[in-house]
Amino acid sequence: MTVQMVFITESARLQSTLATYGIQTQTPSQLEPIQIWSPRQLIKLLERLGQNPRLGLTGRPPRPIGSIGTAKLYRVFGNTVLCYPLQFELTDFYMYQDLALLIDDVKNLVGLVRNAWTMSGRPTFCILLREEHFEDSSCDKMLKMLSAFKRGVFNGIRVKIGRLNTLVPASYVEHLDFRIPNERTVRRRLSSSLSSAEDDEEDFDIKHYKSRPTYELHQQYHSIKRLLSQAEMLALMSERDGLHFELDGATLQERLEAVAVKARIQKEWSTQRYVASILRKAVDSLAPSITTMLVRGKFVSVGVFGHEEKVFMKPVSPGELLDTIFNLCQPHDIYEPVIHQEVIIALSKLISSKPKLFDGILKIRVGWLIQAMKMELRHSWRMKDLIHSLPPSQLTQLLTFVLEVNMADLDDRTWLQKRQFMGALNKCPAGFYDKVWMILGRTPGGFIIANQYLPQQPTLSDMTKTDLNFALKIEEMFCRIAHSEYRQVIVELLFVVATILGRNPELQFQHRVNMDSLVHEAFNLFLSEEGLEKQDDMTPFYNSPPHGIKGTSNYLTKVAVKHLLNSPIVQGDHACKIS
């Protein structure tokens, strides 16, 4: 099957420029009478589909139009309409203003449309080209992609480039001639000229203005040139007066949107993320991305590292998901809600294309993964910039890099750094839950982790060793741990205890075992043997290797053996039998 493709430029000037490279394009005016719609216009129209007040039917929810939906042509009240993909929507989430990410997604979308298309006609893929796509060093990548499409075969997919009116006869056309009250034509706006502001570095701290009267904020705002500082000042004013408060004839929301547009032109990702968070912007396909991870057998939690988290174990509505992310993240870090959204989208793509990266991860803790990314950014990437300064494509690369790291790649780090990093990934070694099951079977009184008690009964009678609910019980206990390095030590302790019990079937714990207490006993033993004063800071212990005479496993083993030997030995025939 062939994927039809049409290139639309926002201006005649860009069309002439691309013509010098032999790339055939059309402007919106040259397409008439065919109309080009944005995804939001089509979503608005489809909200009327199936609407029936008498039956209580509200119509189609305002959900995003996917790549299959935008590959169709539509007949709407006698007009032919083509909708460009969400990735080209200017008013959408800022992620696709990163050209590298946009190009990568377009390539993937062409393959997706080809493989998933089941309609009678051909899919028609619209690529909307803006002048800003050719303004920086990434323009070579865009030209290379367009040239690859022009050759007629891309990654084994046949592609036909042409003028839209010549492609219509072979296209799939869907009719949407249902009744719409108060029908009106929505006109497209593909380009806008905005003057870019200077971005002078200046000493600016928004905290100094929080106690100032409002009129001073208004005066100060007009003297600020740096875009991020402007956004911070507007956000402070909106906290007091609301986003609809007017400042010199424009609402604060409109001014924030204008700052975001300037930041887009100047590639200031921190400012774009800041404004997106203040305005509670949402990326499309966020809830389906959670569903993608759920159907792969993973559970997803959102929330800032070290703070409250919310676990999703079943599909969730877009509104509930967005409210949860903003309510849990924004009070702790203004950038976290939008970084969360970017990471969720990237995780959804990675789990589909590289599922092995998620081996050993039952619960994907987004906030903890972001923490691992921050650690990696500071250490391996040698970058002083904060994570919210990265372009979305580099953020995705960083996430992929973090998930690909294993312990052997961390030789240049201290054991504290290794434990912090690996703990933040929330990975468990192979056979981990089986070992915890065995420990529980030899602990009649049950055990405690992070002040959470797991009784032996009815746990063992209600579940099996391979029961997903048992693994989730353990993960729930682990979610109470606030520090990733402590999580790794608890995992180490459980492996030590499982090894001892596995080699000595006559031993068992007689009473309830507090794993937290065992770790602290091992720490105190470490301090005693190292000749260190008693202290609460466990950093020296975390910074010790697990193996060797002075390793953490040695101290954990001594403490575990002491508690086991204080319990009565189980009588029975444990002689070696040869069958």
Structural domain contains residue 211? yes
Kindly state the tokens that stand for 27. 């402007």
HSE, side-chain direction, 13 A CA sphere, residue 514 = 7
Q: What's the domain range around 556?
A: 432-565
**Residues 148 and 216 placed together within one structural domain of the fold:** no
Looking at the DSSP bridge assignments, the partners of residue 365 are 301
> Is 420 within the bounds of a domain?
yes
Instruction: Name the phi and psi angles at 72, rounded to 5.
Output: -100, 155
Q: Are residues 487 and 464 in the same domain?
A: yes
- Model pLDDT for residues 372-409, shown as the tens digit of each residue: 999 988 887 666 558 999 999 999 999 999 999 887 77
Q: What are phi and psi of 312, to 5 degrees?
A: -105, 120
In a domain, 141, yes or no: yes
Same domain, 355 and 258: no
Closest of 407, 417, 325 to residue 366, by C-alpha: 325
Residues 93 and 136 in one domain: yes
Q: In terms of domains, do 460 and 556 share one? A: yes
Whether 199 has a pLDDT exceeding 60, the answer reads no
pLDDT score, position 185: 36
The reply to whether 555 falls in a domain is yes
231 shares its domain with 105: no
Residue 217 and residue 291 in one domain: no
Whether 524 is in a domain gets the answer yes
**Residues counted in the chain:** 579
What pLDDT band is residue 567 in, cutting at 50, 70 and 90? low
Answer yes or no: is pLDDT of 202 > 80.
no
Distance (Å) of CA 524 to CA 520, 550, 563, 565:
6, 13, 15, 20
Both tokens of 547, joined, read 């193996």
Domain co-membership, 410 together with 476: no
pLDDT band at 572 (very low <50, low <70, confident <90, very high): low
Which of 219, 252, 278 is at the close of a domain? 278
Query: In terms of domains, do 12 and 154 share one?
Result: yes
In a domain, 191, yes or no: no
Judge whether 570 lies within some domain: no
pLDDT at 355 over 50: yes
**Same domain, yes or no: 325 and 402:** yes
Rounded percentage of the chain residues whose pLDDT exceeds 70: 91
Output the pLDDT for position 96: 81
The count of domains in the chain is 4
Mean pLDDT (the chain, rounded)? 87
| C-beta neighbour count of 359 within 10 angstroms | 10
Same-domain check for residues 166 and 17: yes
| Per-residue pLDDT reduced to its tens digit, 254-302 | 999 999 999 988 889 999 999 999 999 998 889 999 999 999 999 999 9
Residue 158 shares a structural domain with residue 70: yes
Domain final residue pick, 278, 307, 323: 278
Determine if the pTM surpasses 0.95: no
Helix or strand or coil: residue 8? strand
Cα(93)–Cα(96) distance, integer angstroms: 7
In a domain, 302, yes or no: yes
What are the start-end ranges of the H helices in 161-303? 164-167, 214-221, 227-241, 252-265, 269-278, 286-295
Q: Which of 382, 407, 425 is the last residue of a domain?
A: 425
**What confidence tens digit (pLDDT) does each residue in 22-33 have?**
999 999 889 888
- Residue 184 is predicted with a pLDDT of 37
The rounded Cα 242 to chain-centroid distance in angstroms is 29
